[in-house]
Amino acid sequence: MTEEEFLLLRDLVYDHCGLWFDSHNSYLLEKRLTRRLVVHNFSTFLEYYQFLKLSRKRTQELDEIMDILTTNETYFFREAFQLKAFSEEIVPELRNSKEKAGTSRTLRIWSAGCSSGEEPYTIAMLLLELPFMRDWKVEIVGTDISQRVLQQARRGVYGQSSFRTTDDYFTRQYFVRQDDGFRISDRVRELVTISHLNLLDQNRIGMLGNFDVVFCRNVIIYFDPAAKKQVVESFHQVLNQGGYLLLGHSESLMNVTTKFMLRHFKNDMVYQKPVNGGVL
């Protein structure tokens, strides 16, 4: 891959989804895209770039690229302290505030970058464990840019690696063992909707509606500052006032936005959208 080819392909990928490759990571882009040259019998990356720009099959090919370039390492009950803050502190607070306001008993949660589905299904299991939420309508939307991992999420069958931190209680309670792994139970699945979404597609994001909580963990670390700002602004727009944004522990909104407040809970720190644009 020449420097010119790297710059062309890097910018094309960035414009499509916000993933950013620095020049010192050019070898990663070359290594991962080489297999696509082989598939299409191209001899140069420039030919491949022209294919991505002009072919009628460019959308399908971009989906293939996203499957290759995105990291989808995940498992059930990841970042336990944050999940404890969610189920024991955030959800009760949201429930109480909605009841005081007399709004509908609906809790909407977005798992942005849901990968193979472990995160949204974990959220569903945690909510099913809360007796005070049983008379509420719960809607969990899981989205990802990779069609490959979304297929696994919809199938809902998982191997042992997905259960590395899962208590046996949850495996017995919410999964059915079968020959090829553990299948998520229907009562968990019915709370979750899985769909394809590019986090830079603001029109599609607007169609999702408003949410009380957005999980976007270990996703924005792959974006450059401009893409981070765009994505976080989208989260701010779809979150209800007083809603929460939960990022990965290695992620922060420092130098990204000042529109969220950092809330210190007993179990973890998370971001919250202020009520009426003011200080909470």
CATH code for the domain in which residue 159 is found: 3.40.50.150
Cβ-proximal residues to 108 (8 Å cutoff; 6+ apart), any chain: 139, 140, 141, 209, 210, 211, 212, 213
Tell me, what CATH number does 58's domain have?
1.10.155
Biggest alpha carbon distance in the chain? Answer: 65
Say if residue 207 is exposed, middle or buried (CB neighbours under 10 Å; 0-12, 13-18, 19+).
exposed
What's the whole-number mean pLDDT along residues 148-156? 93
Residues 146 and 242 in one domain: yes
Residues 134 and 257 in one domain: yes
For 13-54, the pLDDT digits (tens) are: 888 877 878 888 788 889 889 989 998 999 999 999 999 998
Residue 153 inside a domain? The answer is yes
Residues 122 and 40 in one domain: no
Residue 74 inside a domain? The answer is no
Neighbour count for residue 51 (Cβ, 10 Å): 16
Strand partners, 108: 139
Give the end of a domain, one of 41, 69, 97.
69
Q: Residue 37 is part of which domain span?
A: 3-69
- Helix, strand, coil percentages in the chain from 3-state DSSP, rounded to 5: 50, 20, 30
Residues 259 and 219 in one domain: yes
> Is 12's pLDDT higher than 50?
yes
DSSP 186-206: HHHHTTEEEEE--TT-HHHHH
Residues 230 and 149 in one domain: yes
Instruction: Decide: 183 and 153 in contact? Cβ < 8 Å.
Output: no
Residue 209 inside a domain? The answer is yes
Give the end of a domain, one of 33, 49, 69.
69
Pairing of strands 106-112, 211-216: parallel
For 179-218, the pLDDT digits (tens) are: 889 999 999 999 999 999 999 999 999 999 999 999 999 8
Cβ-proximal residues to 165 (8 Å cutoff; 6+ apart), any chain: 75, 76, 77, 78, 80
Residues 165 and 126 in one domain: yes
Question: How far, in Å, CA of 253 to CA of 232, rounded?
Answer: 8
The terminus-to-terminus CA distance of the chain in angstroms comes to 51
Instruction: Decide: 193 and 139 in contact? Cβ < 8 Å.
Output: yes
Instruction: State the total domains in the chain.
Output: 2
pLDDT score at 71: 66
Residues 99 and 46 in one domain: no
Give the end of a domain, one of 48, 69, 90.
69
- Res. 279 pLDDT band, cuts 50 70 90: very low
Q: Which residue spans within the chain are E strands per DSSP?
A: 106-112, 137-144, 157-158, 175-178, 181-184, 192-196, 211-216, 239-247, 261-264, 269-272
Residue with tokens 């029109």, as numbered in its chain:
203
Structure token digits, residue 8: 């062309």
pTM: 0.86
Collapse the DSSP code of 214 into the 3-class scheme (helix H, G, I; strand E, B; otherwise coil) and give the result: strand
Residues 63 and 89 in one domain: no
Q: Which ranges of 77-146 would DSSP assign to H, the alpha helix?
A: 80-85, 91-101, 118-128
Q: Helices 45-54 & 3-17, crossing angle to 10 degrees?
A: 30
pLDDT score at 269: 92
Strand partners, 175: 184
Residue 267 inside a domain? The answer is yes
Residue 75 inside a domain? The answer is no
Cβ-proximal residues to 172 (8 Å cutoff; 6+ apart), any chain: none
- Res. 221 pLDDT band, cuts 50 70 90: confident
Strand partners, 178: 181
